[in-house]
Amino acid sequence: MHLIQQVLFIICAVAAIVIFARKVVQMRRNVNLGRDEDISDNKSERWKNMILLALGQKKMFKKPIPALLHLCVYVGFVIINIEILEIILDGISGKHRMFAPYLRDLYSYLIGFFEILAALVLISCVIFLIRRNILKVRRLNMKELIGWPKEDANIILCIEIVLMTLFLTMNTVDQTLQIRGSEHYIVTAPFWITNHFTGLFAGFSDGTLIGIERSCWWLHIIGIFAFLNYLPYSKHLHILLAFPNAYYGKLIPKGEMKNMPEIQNEVLYMMEPDKAPAATEDEAEHKRFGAKDITDLSWKNLLDAYSCTECGRCTAVCPANMTGKKLSPRKIMMDTRDRMEEVGKNIDKNKTFVDDGKSLLNDYITTEELRACTTCQACVEACPVSIDPLSIIMQLRRNLVMEDSNAPQEWNLMFGNIENNMAPWKFSPDDRDAWVADVQ
């Protein structure tokens, strides 16, 4: 019987790892659809950001209560899953709590600490569900979350509640069987929480208790494997991607806009034609100002899209959104991710991308959304893991203006003034200081 369980466990573990690895390869391919971007500078500063933002959750604590709840879930879930090492080794070897004889009293302290964290995770997840579905916190109930995004958030919270409940129930029954001296259940010191609930199972037979304990053990580890493979389809992928995304976050001052070398070169070649290289037909065909689809964005923009947890902090501080405009920085990231997944599926189906007549610009993100952005950088500052929605907005807007000549009349007047007068105002450069005469 033990051999059958060992074989089943190994099959489940290998299947979960293989399926997850295949999805990771697909996602890496999707991110690499973006343009190359060199982000290899200031390694020490980047490591510092990763530790403070992804591990330390520095920006989360601008909102202390949600931050503490999130910290409980984050720390609890990560540390509790250290026990997975023992569960995996137990499953492969057919043993039960194989670390207990070696760690002795320390083992019960570790499990007791895990139990406290499990209880905190469970309580925090219940509070998060209440915030989303009963209190209906505004940023967690906006229109871009209607449908799957909201269901996804609730599903993941329920999964975590179930996993923690299984863990605590498994330990409670295990303690009960230890007290009864059941075979294979190694006697340990009492666990800190579940030891107080063994009386709940006093009326059950040993066989029933073993069945409950084994069921909880199997459901817990299968739940972990299922959770692992659910992550790539969920906003909770940020559990893994927050670290690289924080590492590769923008280090330049937030108000500093990134120039377009293509435009700078066009101006240079216009003024000094002899420096212009001879363009090939292929280069001329693929030359694009700004971005129209995901392949025009950088790989970091696409990594941002996968890393977004849809928390809505960016949208909550967006002045355009506050005044009722359609722009939502969170939706920009969600749309980018959806388009990237669509392109990826196209490639999987056809072995190479076949034009589907769609693009990120217009089909996913509208002109109205892009024009509403004031480039205030509030969304960039608010993101806990250094996601930059503004970079995508600016590139799409540049494409609108420079390739489609699609700009409001007010913008066109400003562009004309800058071109003719070297300033946004309709004054000749020679008359720019004329106002001084009026104050003398």
Q: Answer for the pair 23, 232: CB distance below 8 angstroms, yes or no.
A: yes
105 pLDDT band, cuts 50/70/90, is confident
129 pLDDT band, cuts 50/70/90, is very high
Least confident of 17-26, 253-262, 283-292: 283-292
Give the residue-averaged pLDDT of 145-158. Answer: 94
The chain-wide mean pLDDT, for the chain, equals 90
The backbone torsions φ and ψ at residue 223, rounded to the nearest 5 degrees and listed phi first, read -60, -40
pLDDT at residue 422, rounded to an integer: 79
Q: Which of the residue ranges 97-106, 322-331, 425-434 has the most confident prediction, judged by mean pLDDT?
A: 322-331
pLDDT at residue 263, rounded to an integer: 77
Residue 51 is given by DSSP the state I
Q: Which residues make Cβ contacts (< 8 Å) with residue 306, sequence separation at least 6?
A: 27, 30, 31, 237, 241, 337, 340
Percent pLDDT > 90 in the chain is 69
The backbone torsions φ and ψ at residue 371, rounded to the nearest 5 degrees and listed phi first, read -70, -25
pLDDT at residue 361, rounded to an integer: 96
277 pLDDT band, cuts 50/70/90, is confident
pLDDT at residue 440, rounded to an integer: 60
Give the residue-averaged pLDDT of 138-157. Answer: 94
Residue 407 is given by DSSP the state -
Give the residue-averaged pLDDT of 189-197. Answer: 92
pLDDT at residue 79, rounded to an integer: 84
List, in sequence order, the alpha helices (H) in 57-134: 64-80, 84-93, 100-103, 105-133
Interhelix angle for 105-133 vs 148-179, to 10°?
150
Dist CA 244 CA 248 (whole Å): 6
Does residue 370 carry a pLDDT above 60?
yes
Per-residue pLDDT tens over the stretch 152-165: 999 999 999 999 99
Does residue 270 carry a pLDDT above 90?
no
pLDDT at residue 128, rounded to an integer: 96
Least confident of 266-280, 331-345, 368-382: 266-280
Q: Cα separations (Å) of 173 from 44, 246, 312?
A: 48, 42, 41
Dist CA 85 CA 97 (whole Å): 11
Dist CA 29 CA 21 (whole Å): 12
pLDDT at residue 3, rounded to an integer: 82
Q: Answer for the pair 93, 82: CB distance below 8 angstroms, yes or no.
A: no
Q: Answer for the pair 29, 344: CB distance below 8 angstroms, yes or no.
A: yes
Look up residue 194 and give its two tokens. Answer: 């579940």
pLDDT at residue 38, rounded to an integer: 92
361: β partners: 365
431 pLDDT band, cuts 50/70/90, is confident
pLDDT at residue 84, rounded to an integer: 84
Q: Start-end ranges of CATH 1.10.1060 in the chain?
A: 261-429
Per-residue pLDDT tens over the stretch 37-85: 999 999 999 999 999 999 899 999 988 999 999 999 988 878 887 788 8
Does residue 336 or residue 86 have the better pLDDT?
336
Quick one: CATH architecture of 261-429?
Orthogonal Bundle (1.10)
